[in-house]
Amino acid sequence: MDNETRIRQHIRELIQEEFSKLEEISTTGNVAGYLTPYAFAKDGKTNTKRVKNLARMIGYKLTKRGEEEARMRDSLNEGYYDYKNDDSMKPHQKIGNAISEMNKQIKEIERSLRMNRRLKKETGTTNDKLWKRTKNQMVKLEARLTELAAKIREMRG
């Protein structure tokens, strides 16, 4: 047996010896955490007090951001029921007015986009000159608009 073969055999024995000493190996040490915005909510509905109580019961507390998000969901749900139960207009009128208002808002978005595309082109600004955050926000904005288009298609039937 030559030296290289003996060294390899010795290394294999050392590795095997070390592995036999280990009882358990955890492979989750480098896994990044993830957000669970509805961790304590039932069916996406929540109220701030209930969420706080559930979190406190298991030894956690809401962050400032978590409290704000819970409050926002509460107000959105309350706002929807007020909107739905408002007898000043029929449902089809409410929908028509909302769509009309959204069209006005989209025109503003288009105007802003047109101006900034023109500015980018005229000044010769390249994508590598944009901030990383700006690039990420553009990607997210595009995804949101695609999502909205799908919801509108669904609503049209």
In a domain? residue 1: no
Confidence of residue 13 (pLDDT cuts 50, 70, 90): confident
**Count of domains for the chain:** 3
Using a 10 angstrom Cβ sphere, with 0-12 exposed, 13-18 middle and 19 or more buried, the burial of residue 52 is middle
Q: Which residue has the higher pLDDT, 71 or 36?
A: 71
Q: DSSP label at 45? A: B
Confidence of residue 7 (pLDDT cuts 50, 70, 90): confident
> Is the domain of 95 the same as that of 106?
yes
> Is the domain of 49 the same as that of 79?
yes
78-132 pLDDT per residue, tens: 777 778 888 999 999 999 999 999 999 999 999 999 999 999 999 999 999 999 9
> Is the domain of 78 the same as that of 43?
yes
* pLDDT at position 148: 93
Are 67 and 53 in contact, with CB atoms under 8 Å apart?
no
The residues that bridge with 42 in the sheet, in sequence order, are 45
28-70 pLDDT per residue, tens: 655 555 556 555 555 555 566 777 777 777 777 777 787 777 7
Taking alpha carbons only, the member of 67, 31, 63 closest to residue 48 is 67
In a domain? residue 59: yes
> Is the domain of 117 the same as that of 132?
no
* pLDDT at position 24: 58
| Residue 124 falls in which region: left (phi positive, over 0), alpha (psi -120 to 50) or beta | left
